[in-house]
A and B are shown apart, each in its own frame.
Chain A
Amino acid sequence: MSLRLDIQRILREGLINFWRNKLVSFSTIMVMTMAMVVMSSLLFMNAVLDFSLVQLQDRVDVNIYFFPDVPETEILTLQSKLQLVPEIRDVQYISREQAFLDFQERHRNDDLITRSLEELGDNPLGASLNIRAFESTQYEAVIAAIESEPVVTNSDFVERINYYDNKTIIERLNQFTGVVRLIGYAVVVFFSVVALLVILSTMRIAIFAAKKEIRIKRLVGAEHRYVRGPFLVMGGMYGLVSAILTMLVLYPMTRWIGNYTSSFFGGMDIASYYAGNILPIFIILVTVGMLIGIISSRIATKKYLKI
């Protein structure tokens, strides 16, 4: 028999069975879809955690606060020197005036502070340098470079350096996200195994119903591939349809959750993350769904093919 005719018939038979056994197909697809929605939600959660971590790490910086009477030229010289340090990504100079404007802006609604400033009549704030490294692990080197500058060690110039304040927070955050991520992966793996078992049992029930049919086909001389093939096609179809349904369910879900969580997760919008990665997500879901469907129907048919 030609291979083309063979494949064509197996596909046709699988699709017809898929359509004629609507109830079985429907329930299997529902179970698969639910499992896939749970799994992809967990994967989304991991992506969000990753994003938040990067955001938080980005906020880590070293601030050198100068006394208000330090000449600007000293500070600008230090800025250009520090910019040459290889671990340093950028050095931002915040002038006294800018610091004052920022302060005013921050406390715009605070009457007491606004009035106190007016009372003071002068700018009490000093300039500062805002230094960021490329990686959060490079701050040891950065701080060493900063402290080797004579301007910095001069206690008449520098009011304070805030590196050490952030350090412990950052380390704790690193540990915390590490643990959260580990738990996240464990939950994903656990749910995947549960989903696989549920799908396998559903497929077994579906195929148990077709046990008589498998026997008859064998007795009238059908070869293995002809009996099993349509079931594999059906399993693949379950996976494909479930993946499409999962995609459809995820869209409103991410929109809804995104509205509530984008501010919480450091500005990440889950809905736009979903929209931006729609193709890879679809490919992963279809591949995983079809593989699970095909593998479980292969396992489930094995038992009945013995005669």
Chain B
Amino acid sequence: MIKFDNISKSYESKNVSVHGIDLKIEKGEFVILIGPSGAGKTTLLRLLLAEEKPTSGSLYFDTVNIHNLRKSDIPKYRQRIGVVFQDYKLLEGKTVFENVAFAMEMIGKTDAEIKVDVPYALELVGLENKGFSFPHQLSGGEQQRLAIARAIINQPDVLIADEPTGSLDPESSKNVLNILNKINDLGTTVILATHDRDVVDASDRRIVRIEHGRITRDDHKGGYHPRK
């Protein structure tokens, strides 16, 4: 479904870059990207979201090379991907309800559908009583869960989560992981970037380790450290 074909990306201003990445992710897979900070995990996710173009190589989604997409086709492509950003990227001027509803409006859902689906998603992440709050009135964990609700509301083909448990206590982290597992069970491909060892060990999924911009490990199943 997703194929990184010899992808390289280098920046003039930053040290972060990736080199010659070859990675195939099948439909319905749950892949965990691990590696130290600055290893290139976020860069890969940004490339996948067409937020940036690679310096060389191609990136295929289904059979389409996404960096050849016309500018006007990019929104439609992004609508197939749900993203939980590391810094949440919530719309500060909108309420919790509106933040989730916005994603549905983008794909042309009616107001009636929005009224039914948004409360359901908010309940799923435990924010059912916060619909009228603004993001700055929420705790870090709540903002994280709001970002998840927005990412999953349109039942995307792929869910990307970049350090979704970074600022959460172990209990909340477990909840987030449960939600991701549930979504994956429903057939959505999940790509999770994290360096939270507990999360990795608890999930027993495919592990791709990135160090200094290169893949150093790709285990079908495993924990944070390779099993002996």
Contact = CB atoms under 8 A, between A and B. Distances in A.
Given A213-B91, A224-B72, A9 B78 contact: no
Contacts of B102: 217, 220, 222
A113 interface: no
Interface residues of B, number: 24
A212 B85 CA distance: 14
A1 B108 contact: yes
A218 B51 CA distance: 9
Nearest to A222: B106
Given A219-B78, A224-B72, A307-B51, A9 B92 contact: no
A51 B77 CA distance: 63
B90 A216 contact: yes
Interface string A274-307: 0000000000000000000000000000000001
Given A1-B108, A5-B108, A223 B75 contact: yes
A223 B81 CA distance: 15
B110 A221 contact: no
Contacts of A226: 105-106
B179 interface: no
Interface in A202-225: 210, 212-213, 215-224
Contacts of B85: 219
A175 interface: no
Contacts of A219: 49, 51, 78, 83, 85, 89
Nearest to A2: B108
A220 B93 contact: no
Interface in B76-90: 76-79, 81, 83, 85, 89-90
Contact of B83 (A215, A220, A307): A220
A20 interface: yes
A17 interface: yes
Contact of A17 (B49, B83, B93): B93
Contacts of B145: none
What class of interface size applies to chain A in its complex with B?
Answer: 20 to 34
Given A5-B108, A5-B110, A221 B91 contact: no
A257 to B, nearest CB: 42
Contacts of B105: 9, 226
Interface string B7-45: 000000000000000000000000000000000000000
Interface in B55-108: 72, 75-79, 81, 83, 85, 89-93, 102-103, 105-108
A109 interface: no
A21 interface: yes
A221 B79 contact: yes
A223 B91 contact: no
A212 B87 CA distance: 12
- Among A213, A220, A222, chain B packs the most CB atoms within 10 A around the CB of A220
A236 B79 CA distance: 29
Interface string A11-28: 000000100110000000
Contacts of A17: 93
Given A9-B105, A223-B106, A217 B72 contact: no
A57 B83 CA distance: 75
Nearest to B134: A20
Given A217-B91, A223-B106, 10 more contacts: A5-B108, A9-B105, A216-B89, A217-B102, A218-B75, A219-B78, A219-B83, A221-B81, A223-B72, A224-B75
15 contacts: A1-B107, A21-B93, A212-B92, A217-B91, A219-B51, A219-B78, A219-B89, A220-B83, A220-B89, A220-B102, A220-B106, A221-B103, A222-B75, A223-B72, A224-B72
